[in-house]
Amino acid sequence: MQIVFNDTNTDFKVCFIQNKDLSKFDDDEFFKINDYKGVGSICNLAKRTLYIGLSEELTYASLIASVGSAIKTIKNLNIKSLSIEYLNIGCEFYSAYAIIYGVLAALYEFNKYQKEPKNSKIELISLLVNASDDIKEGVRLAEVLANACEDVKNIVNEIPSTYNQLSFEQDALKLAKEFDLECNIYSDDYMQKEGMNAFLAVNRASAYPAKLIHLAYKPKNAKKRIVYVGKGLVYDTGGLSLKPADYMLTMKADKSGAAAVLGILKAAKLLNLDYEIHGIIGAAQNCISEKSYMPDDVVISKEGVSIEVRNTDAEGRLVLADCLSFAQDLKPDLLIDLATLTGACVVGLSEYTSGIMGYNEELQNEFYENSKRSGEYTCVLHFNPHIKELIKSKIADVSNTGSSRYGGAISAGMFLGEFIRKEYKDKWLHLDIAGPAYLEKAWGENSYGASAAGVRMNIINLLRMARRK
Ligand code: BES
Ligand code: ZN
Ligand code: ZN
């Protein structure tokens, strides 16, 4: 995709309507005919123009979503070039990012398994503005994030018979080679030696070996060391605590956290961020065989904490527990895990919103504020000692499920907290992306399927931390 500025000679034009103000348009009649109320989008094919009516409460999220859903209405027309108005809703950099990301994200479609896939023919986008440096950089951010997110979506959308633990290994090696990242991959022997029994237990029934993947981007003079950990369940059947059929569907997306970690590394490298960034991926498959780990089992994690397995479907936290130990050995200044961890988070926060958890309220609030600029929705969920009571075990140090059916997102977060050493408690954030990671109904800029949840919020959090924007 080529992105240029101020080229008005395009096949199609996209304009904004703010505050339902139709006065700047000469074809008033056209809006009347269509009973247009000023929100949503409308397309005048004769004039080759698309009008996007913006909601009155304008945020970066709503701008991205409005642009995205409008673009979806025209993306399969025979259009090669598109010009789009620029609109500043607060900050030039993030406004330009929002508009261009909205367009690019809306063009994505996972259709490789269709006989006649429909793909947009758009090759050129022209942003109608005399671009300042801020605007140019915002456009660049959008391009980088759209590109990284596309890779992530392709991984998450890929089907379980094709995408397994070895696929993660290959994708990590490919990324490392192409972008000059360090990459180390560990399997059974190493993990056994390191006592990563919680992680290994989850993968025991799989036909493929578990993979612990460590990628690192190490620019010179890095300011801080940031470590991301991703849940990479290539499939989650629930194991012996088998999921009902309806709930199992979409569990190919249980690798979304790990895929997002790959996307974050790629974007960080493309943006030359001056942080040392590590990505840890726990790739496993939760299935059933005579080797399955079982409810009632007790596993001893790398941290030395024993875990009573009361439900084999609460597997993500077992994989993450050991990965978080590995991550802390790297002595991070900031440690963030991303996981499609709980259905409870979806129930509590919706399919649109990720949960932010941890012990450091300031860090959580800062992340929440920063994520708003990305267009991703987040919400801070607070720990409390009563919820910690719910994960007590009578026979081990901790139970992998809460004893109440309430508060499942937080009890899962607090379970992970049991594996965070004292010195890292204030440096850790847990992001439960179970809601927005995979869409069964497309919304806003997102198409059906994977959304690459977590990539944009984390990259923008890093930009804000570095005071780059
Ligand atoms: N992968 C699921 C969580 C999930 C559910 C992600 C829906 C995306 C959409 C996770 O491994 C899981 O099964 N969690 C259980 C935990 C329970 C057994 C304590 C859940 O949420 O039901
Ligand atoms: Zn599960
Ligand atoms: Zn899972």
Assign 443 a pLDDT band (cuts: 50, 70, 90): very high
Confidence at residue 19, expressed as pLDDT on a 0 to 100 scale: 86
Are 227 and 370 in the same domain? yes
* Separation of first and last alpha carbons in the chain: 25
Confidence at residue 21, expressed as pLDDT on a 0 to 100 scale: 84
Are 121 and 226 in the same domain? no
- Residue 412: inside a domain: yes
Are 57 and 114 in the same domain? yes
Assign 87 a pLDDT band (cuts: 50, 70, 90): very high
Are 139 and 219 in the same domain? no
The beta-strand segments (E) located in 60-105 are: 81-85
pLDDT digits (tens, 9 = 90+) for 250-296: 999 999 999 999 999 999 999 999 999 999 999 999 999 999 999 99
CATH of the domain at 95: 3.40.220.10
- Residue 117: inside a domain: yes
CATH of the domain at 364: 3.40.630.10
pLDDT digits (tens, 9 = 90+) for 2-19: 999 999 999 999 999 998
Ligand 1 pocket test target in 309, 342, 345, 439 with most atoms within 8 Å of CB: 342
Task: Indicate whether residue 434 lines ligand 1 (CB < 6 A).
Answer: yes
Which one, of 224, 234, 268, 270, lies nearest residue 254 by Cα? 234
Task: Indicate whether residue 346 lines ligand 1 (CB < 6 A).
Answer: yes
Mean pLDDT check: name the lowest of 26-35, 129-138, 327-336: 26-35
207 token code pair = 């036909």
Amino acid identity of 26? Answer: D
Task: Indicate whether residue 432 lines ligand 1 (CB < 6 A).
Answer: no
Last residue of a domain, one of 148, 178, 203: 148
Q: What is the largest CA-CA distance in the chain?
A: 75
Are 256 and 390 in the same domain? yes
The span from the CA of 307 to the CA of 416, in Å, is: 11
Q: How far is the CA of 209 from the centre of ligand 1 (A)?
A: 22
Query: What is the mean predicted confidence (pLDDT) over 454-467?
Result: 96
Which one, of 417, 262, 202, 261, lies nearest residue 328 by Cα? 417
What ligand 1 atom has the least distance to the C-alpha of 411?
Answer: 19
The span from the CA of 399 to the CA of 309, in Å, is: 6
Confidence at residue 32, expressed as pLDDT on a 0 to 100 scale: 73
- Residue 453: inside a domain: no
Question: What residues are labeled active site?
Answer: 243, 317
- 169 is in which domain, residue-wise? 163-436
Q: Is residue 435 within 8 Å of residue 455, measured between CB atoms? A: no
Task: Indicate whether residue 295 lines ligand 1 (CB < 6 A).
Answer: no
Which one, of 317, 361, 309, lies nearest residue 339 by Cα? 317
Task: Indicate whether residue 69 lines ligand 1 (CB < 6 A).
Answer: no
Q: Is the per-residue pLDDT at 72 higher than 80? A: yes
Confidence at residue 47, expressed as pLDDT on a 0 to 100 scale: 83
Domains in the chain: how many in total?
Answer: 2
Q: Is the per-residue pLDDT at 441 higher than 90? A: yes
> For atom 5 of ligand 1, which residue has the closest CA?
343
Confidence at residue 30, expressed as pLDDT on a 0 to 100 scale: 74
- Residue 398: inside a domain: yes
Assign 172 a pLDDT band (cuts: 50, 70, 90): very high
Query: What is the mean predicted confidence (pLDDT) over 299-312?
Result: 98
Confidence at residue 209, expressed as pLDDT on a 0 to 100 scale: 98
Helices 256-270 and 133-157 pack at an angle, to 10 degrees, of 150
104 token code pair = 């690019």
Q: How far is the CA of 341 from the centre of ligand 3 (A)?
A: 6
What ligand 1 atom has the least distance to the C-alpha of 341?
Answer: 3
Confidence at residue 41, expressed as pLDDT on a 0 to 100 scale: 82
Neighbours of 5 (CB within 10 A): 17
Mean pLDDT check: name the lowest of 22-36, 130-144, 248-262, 296-310: 22-36
Are 132 and 189 in the same domain? no
Are 207 and 111 in the same domain? no
Confidence at residue 89, expressed as pLDDT on a 0 to 100 scale: 96
Are 139 and 282 in the same domain? no
Assign 35 a pLDDT band (cuts: 50, 70, 90): confident
DSSP string computed for 371-405:
HHHHT-EEEE----HHHHHTT--SSSSEESS-SSS
Query: What residue has token string 């440690």?
Result: 335
Task: Indicate whether residue 344 lines ligand 1 (CB < 6 A).
Answer: yes
Q: Is residue 336 within 8 Å of residue 226, measured between CB atoms? A: yes
Q: Is the per-residue pLDDT at 45 higher than 90? A: no
Last residue of a domain, one of 92, 115, 148: 148
- Residue 36: inside a domain: yes
- Residue 325: inside a domain: yes
Are 100 and 192 in the same domain? no
Last residue of a domain, one of 148, 174, 196: 148
Q: Is residue 17 within 8 Å of residue 52, measured between CB atoms? A: yes
Stronger pLDDT, 191 or 466, i.e. the higher one: 191
Query: What is the mean predicted confidence (pLDDT) over 220-228?
Result: 96
Assign 203 a pLDDT band (cuts: 50, 70, 90): very high
Assign 34 a pLDDT band (cuts: 50, 70, 90): confident
The span from the CA of 171 to the CA of 175, in Å, is: 6
DSSP 252: G
pLDDT digits (tens, 9 = 90+) for 142-167: 999 999 999 999 999 999 999 999 99
- Residue 346: inside a domain: yes
Are 309 and 271 in the same domain? yes
Name residues with Cβ closer than 5 Å to ligand 2, which is an ion.
236, 313, 315
The SS3 assignment for 254 reads helix
- Residue 406: inside a domain: yes
pLDDT digits (tens, 9 = 90+) for 339-388: 999 999 999 999 999 999 999 999 999 999 999 999 999 999 999 999 99
Q: How far is the CA of 54 from the centre of ligand 2 (A)?
A: 39
Continuous segment of H or E residues that includes residue 224: none
Confidence at residue 38, expressed as pLDDT on a 0 to 100 scale: 75
Are 141 and 218 in the same domain? no
What ligand 1 atom has the least distance to the C-alpha of 233?
Answer: 1
Task: Indicate whether residue 340 lines ligand 1 (CB < 6 A).
Answer: yes
Phi and psi torsions of 66, nearest 5°? -65, -45
Are 215 and 320 in the same domain? yes
Q: How far is the CA of 390 from the centre of ligand 2 (A)?
A: 18
Amino acid identity of 297? Answer: D
DSSP string computed for 164-208:
-HHHHHHHHHHHHHHHT-EEEEE-HHHHHHTT-HHHHHHHTT-SS
Q: From the CA of 237, which ligand is nearest?
A: 2
> For atom 22 of ligand 1, which residue has the closest CA?
343
Which one, of 421, 404, 206, lies nearest residue 321 by Cα? 421
